[in-house]
């Protein structure tokens, strides 16, 4: 019998547990859910497991406060860390989450040296850089949740505005996962037609603005936490593309090595995700204005990376 695939999720909070549920329901891997709070990952894992007979999945899922059970994971998703409160930017989480992500990365790679790491903890671009620094993994195996989520938000808004199916919308959002995200209306299409040809410029601007503030809008409404349904859906898509070798092209936060004229930084660009992680960084034809916006986003991330004083 072939060995089951295994996914470890660090952090059994909102994003981590939603991810565990979505993945369990996909029935593609066994799951280890880890948290520092005693009982929390165990309780959530047991609860998800008991939904199996009803939903009809057989994935095994265990909750734990240690790392023994994570050994030999194919993919590790890092969601541990603080979420935003109203009025905070993702960057405000840097120092708190840097400590947590650094620690857990070290523990994770000790047990799963061949895994691919997906980072969800914010500020995600800087956290991807940190996880790579600590793990010493090649860039192909450290990827951040970013553009898929931002693009999904834009797709949702465009579909609602035009009263079309979300599946008809193909959206592109690159850059920083924050206020310097680079929304590309020119490349965002509905059944192949750019939204710039379907909607007035003011409407496009309004939808772009709502996309950039998409996470903050939810933080403002929830008051006690940040988004987790759409983030966990986006993470699940990344995990699936890797485990099932789908080779989907998805916008993710990755270390650039000269693509788009950028180096030593992490931003969201389209990448092909397959069994070995990032199999290709896709270089879109951008206008000089769009390239400049990407370079500006990269610079902002570099500044944040500098604050961490890694060496």
Residues noted as catalytic = 177
Question: Minimal distance in Å, beta carbon 266 to ligand APR?
Answer: 15
Q: For every residue of 58-80, which 3-state class applies, written as one string?
A: CCCEEEECCCHHHCCCCEEEECC
Q: How far is CA 35 from the centre of its chain?
A: 19
Using CB under 6 A, pick the residue from 8, 14, 21, 105 that binds ligand APR. 14
Q: How many helices (H) and strands (E) in the chain?
A: 11, 14
79 belongs to the binding site for ligand APR (CB under 6 A): yes
DSSP per-residue letters across 225-282? S---HHHHHHHHHHHHHHHTT--EEEEEEEEEESGGG-EEEEEEEEEEEETTEEEEE-
CA dihedral (21, 114, 141, 105) positive or negative: positive
73 binds ligand APR (CB under 6 A): no
List 277's β-bridge partners, or say none. 274
Which residue's CB comes closest to ligand APR?
Answer: 13
| 294 forms part of the interface with ligand APR (CB under 6 A) | no
Q: Please state the closest distance from residue 180 (CB atom) to ligand APR, in A.
A: 16
Does 10 sit near ligand APR (CB under 6 A)? yes
Helix or strand (DSSP H, E) at 22: helix 14-26
Q: Is residue 8 a contact point for ligand APR (CB under 6 A)?
A: no
Q: Whole-number minimum distance, CB 16 to ligand APR, in Å?
A: 5
Closest by alpha carbon to 59, among 19, 89, 30? 30
Q: Is 69:32 a contact under the CB 8 Å cutoff? A: yes
Applying CB under 6 A, among 4, 27, 37, 138 the residue interacting with ligand APR is: 37
Minimum Å gap between C-beta 137 and ligand APR is 19
Does 116 sit near ligand APR (CB under 6 A)? Answer: no
- Which CB, 146 or 156, lies closer to ligand APR? 146
Using CB under 6 A, pick the residue from 59, 70, 112, 121 that binds ligand APR: 121
Q: How far apart are the first and last CA of the chain?
A: 45
Question: Other CB atoms closer than 10 Å to residue 24's CB: what's the count?
Answer: 25
Structure tokens at 242: 């890797």
Q: How many residues bind ligand APR (CB under 6 A)?
A: 30
By CB under 6 A, tell whether 11 contacts ligand APR: yes
Output phi, psi for 264, to 5 deg: 55, 40
Closest distance of CB 192 from ligand APR, Å: 32
Q: Least Å distance between CB 305 and ligand APR? A: 17
Residue whose entry in the numeric block shows the structure tokens 């059944």: 191
State how far the Cα of 170 lies from the Cα of 138, in Å rounded to an integer: 30
Kindly state whether residue 81 participates in binding ligand APR, applying the rule CB under 6 A. Answer: yes
Residue 226 sits in the site that holds ligand APR (CB under 6 A): yes
230 part of the interface to ligand APR, by CB under 6 A: no
Q: Would you count residue 80 as binding ligand APR (CB under 6 A)?
A: yes
Q: What residues line the site for ligand APR (CB under 6 A)?
A: 10-16, 34-37, 40, 79-84, 93, 97, 100, 103-104, 120-122, 225-226, 228, 231
């Amino acid at each position: 019998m072939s060995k089951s695939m295994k996914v470890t999720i660090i952090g059994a909070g909102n994003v981590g547990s939603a991810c565990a549920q979505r993945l369990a329901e996909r029935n593609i891997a066994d799951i280890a859910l880890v948290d520092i709070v005693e009982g929390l990952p165990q309780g959530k894992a047991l609860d998800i497991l008991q939904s199996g007979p009803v939903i009809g999945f057989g994935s095994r899922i265990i909750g734990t406060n240690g790392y023994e059970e994570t050994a030999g994971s194919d993919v590790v998703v890092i969601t541990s860390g603080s979420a935003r409160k109203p009025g905070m930017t993702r960057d405000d989480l840097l120092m708190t989450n840097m400590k947590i992500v650094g620690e857990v990365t070290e523990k994770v790679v000790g047990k799963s040296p061949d895994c691919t790491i997906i980072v969800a903890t914010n500020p995600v671009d800087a956290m991807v850089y940190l996880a790579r620094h600590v793990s010493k993994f090649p860039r192909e195996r450290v990827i951040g949740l970013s553009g898929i989520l931002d693009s999904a938000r834009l797709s949702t808004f465009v579909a609602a505005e035009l009263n079309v199916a979300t599946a008809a919308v193909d959206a592109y959002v690159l850059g920083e996962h924050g206020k310097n995200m680079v929304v590309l209306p020119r490349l965002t299409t509905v059944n192949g037609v750019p939204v710039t040809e379907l909607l007035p410029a003011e409407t496009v601007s309004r939808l772009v603005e709502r996309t950039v503030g998409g996470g903050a809008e939810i933080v403002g409404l929830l008051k006690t936490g940040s988004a987790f349904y759409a983030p966990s859906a986006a993470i699940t898509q990344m995990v699936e593309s890797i485990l099932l070798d789908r080779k989907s092209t998805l916008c993710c936060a990755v270390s650039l090595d000269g693509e788009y004229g950028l180096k030593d930084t992490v931003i969201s660009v389209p990448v092909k995700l397959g069994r070995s992680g990032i199999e290709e960084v896709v270089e879109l034809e951008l206008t000089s204005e769009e390239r400049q916006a990407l370079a500006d986003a990269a610079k902002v991330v570099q500044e944040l990376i500098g604050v961490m004083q890694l060496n």
